[in-house]
Amino acid sequence: MWPYPKVLAHRGGGILAPENTIAALRCGLAQGFHAVEFDVMLSKDEVPVLMHDCEFGRTLAGTGSVAGSTAEALTAMDAGSWFGAEFAGEPVPLFEDAVAFCRHHDIWMNVEIKPVPGMEALTGGVVAGCCASLFADVAVSDAGRLPLLSSFSVTALKAAKAAAPALPRGWLTERITPDWKSQCQELGVRALHTNHASLTPDLVRQIKDAGYGLFCYTVNDPQRASELLRWGVDAFCTDRLDLIPADF
């Protein structure tokens, strides 16, 4: 049900490094993390890159958008300076380069498909297809070595299923709605990913009894992390790699 690690570094390296960069993955690894969550979006020319925000202005300086920029332009941009001068020049990584880094260092991945509004189906299909090619050498039965694709977008998840049916998926939902079970069944997901604030011990029990993996975001308090694990949550991502060790 959850053949994956228990604690994941959120957006690569949590608070230690600029999110969704190779530097972040490197920081997580240096802290002993061999499991990571990152966000993937499509460029104008439909190339998957690591990125959270659709628009520039926070992690990338200036104005503009990911969907309005080519992968070549994005990978030439500075995604590190906003975080700290020591990360100046850290590029926006291509998804395939992030996967290569993770595979080389034995880091398991939760790939969050983060579509620009209006590009949900395209993003789900392209990211899943790309992932399937990058993991073509891993047997489907070797579940723990395959990445887990997740998304808040039901449309993206359906497209991911169509493009790469053998890759495991998780449905990301901010709140657990009463129809959670039928939604999981329809999407054919292995796991439910939710905001930890939406969980209760009873809900955790229901989800686990129904046979789904249960992952939550983003848990930054060690006491809360202990409580969630006691309730039966399988795994969570954290920004506080300094407070919550990988072997928590």
Residues that bind Mg ion (CB under 5 A): 39, 112
**What φ, ψ does residue 194 adopt, rounded to 5°?**
-145, 165
Token representation of residue 12: 């690569």
In the complex, the smallest distance separating the C-beta of residue 114 from ligand G3P, rounded to whole angstroms, is 6
In the complex, the smallest distance separating the C-beta of residue 223 from ligand G3P, rounded to whole angstroms, is 21
Q: Which is nearer to ligand G3P, 34 or 52 (CB)?
A: 52
In the complex, the smallest distance separating the C-beta of residue 68 from ligand G3P, rounded to whole angstroms, is 21
Residue from 22, 33, 112, 156 binding ligand G3P (CB under 6 A)? 112
Residue from 25, 28, 39, 124 binding ligand G3P (CB under 6 A)? 39
Contact 181, 210 (CB under 8 A): yes
Task: Report the distance separating Cα 238 and Cα 124, nearest Å.
Answer: 24
Give me the catalytic one of 34, 52, 105, 196: 52
At position 40, the amino acid (one-letter code) is V
Residues touching ligand G3P, count (CB under 6 A): 11
By a kind-dependent CB cut-off of 5 to 8 A, residue 217 interacts, out of Mg ion, ligand G3P, none, with: ligand G3P
Residue 37 binds to ligand G3P (criterion: CB under 6 A): yes
**Binding track over 186-225 against ligand G3P, x by CB under 6 A:** -------x-----------------------xx-------
Q: Cβ contacts of residue 9 below 8 Å, gap of 6+?
A: 24, 25, 28, 31, 33, 35, 36, 37, 237, 238, 241, 246
Q: Which is nearer to ligand G3P, 12 or 125 (CB)?
A: 12
Pick out residues in 132-191 that bind ligand G3P (CB under 6 A).
Answer: 150, 172
Distance of CA 80 to the CA centre of its chain: 19
52: annotated active-site residue: yes
Binding site for ligand G3P (CB under 6 A): 10, 37, 39, 52, 112, 150, 172, 193, 217-218, 237
Task: Give the residue numbers annotated as catalytic, written as ranges.
Answer: 10, 52
